[in-house]
Amino acid sequence: MTDPVTVVDAMERMSGRHPGFRRAHALGRCYDAVFTPSGAAAAYTTAVHLQGSPTPAIVRYSNTAGDPSQPDGGAAVRGMSVKFLSPETDLVSLNVPVFMASTPAKFLDMTRALTDKPSGSTERADAVIAFITANPESTHAFQEAATIPVPESYATIRFWAQHAFVWVGPDGVRRFVRYRWEPASLRHLTAEDTAEWPPGHLLDELEDRLPVTFSLRVQFAGPEDPTNDPTQAWPADRPEIDAGTLEIVKPVADQEFWDRSVFDPTRLTDGIELSDDPVLAYRKQAYAEGHRRRAAGA
Ligand code: HEM
């Protein structure tokens, strides 16, 4: 098993150590939200928050970097984490559909390839190419990351939870699903338009727009679709439902309290189970290790 201490140490080498901050997605802000289920999920999962009644939620938007002073205008990966509060269950997503590593050990190899050699050096470029060559399943995610647009707003991009999860229906039938947050409209800019954006620009921008909405799209796997590999998307023609609408209303009153909390993708509720994806299961330990460090002020 890949030791989470080693993995989080490697993550710290990517962005430097910033005491008290998350080792990834350091700069973020939390918002009060309400999720209103459409009812369409009730035939497929007994999860209470997906039945009929609205449930309060906390949403955290973030930049991926472990460095909270990273300017916001770059073509970077970004995060949208949702904590449904009743019952408490987390859904953590990125604005790319697939992940860069198919196992925790490969995530460590990738992190080393991205950090071991000096920044900007030919050796580092070679190490990244060697990683992709040895792990061709990661090619899709590297292509996505290389072509990612800068969003006009956190409210105008899609977010994917990337992993497969299992829904258990009222009839006991188990189905593999994947989640996507679909914004009311999609709008991107170019890195030239946004070159002057300071750190946190998009967090401030969102506050001027609120309230904003996303719909929760749920894709069902075909019989041959991989459920254990977050680097592999499922074909776009798989059946989908609209499970409900998330309305993001206002910044939370107590930012410090909510920013201290952990959004853990393995925190599930009855009616939803982990798939056989090793990266998904592993994230529980990695996030606990990251949280242990930042809670201690390290
Ligand atoms: C082996 C794989 C991974 C490792 C080791 C890892 C590690 C971490 C760590 C240490 C944190 C900070 C946690 C904290 O301090 O609370 C974090 C945050 C985050 N990660 Fe990952 N991660 C992995 C995979 C993924 C994947 C597949 C996604 C795709 C959805 C993802 C999305 C995020 C997001 C959005 C956050 C910010 C969560 C928040 O808002 O609190 N990570 N990750």
pLDDT digits (tens, 9 = 90+) for 231-276: 999 999 999 999 999 999 999 999 999 999 999 999 999 999 999 9
Does any ligand 1 atom lie closer than 6 A to the CB of residue 162? yes
Ligand 1 centre to CA of 265 (Å) is: 9
What 8-state DSSP symbol labels residue 178?
A: E
Contacts of 136 by beta carbon, 8 Å cutoff, 6+ apart: none
Asked whether residue 1 carries a pLDDT value surpassing 80, the answer given is: no
Residue 209 and residue 233: Cα distance in Å, rounded?
31
Mean pLDDT of 14-20: 94
Q: Where are the chain's structural domains?
A: 4-95+149-295
Mean pLDDT for the chain overall: 96
Residue 284 and residue 262: Cα distance in Å, rounded?
10
pLDDT at 192: 84
Does any ligand 1 atom lie closer than 6 A to the CB of residue 104? yes
151 C-beta neighbours (distance < 10 Å), count: 23
Query: What is the dotted CATH code of the domain comprising 4-95+149-295?
Result: 2.40.180.10
Residue 20 and residue 15: Cα distance in Å, rounded?
14
ipTM for the assembly: 0.99
Ligand 1 centre to CA of 92 (Å) is: 8
Half-sphere exposure of 169 (CA within 13 A, CB side): 11
Does any ligand 1 atom lie closer than 6 A to the CB of residue 92? yes
The pLDDT tens digits for 162-215 are 999 999 999 999 999 999 999 999 999 987 889 999 999 999 999 999 999 999
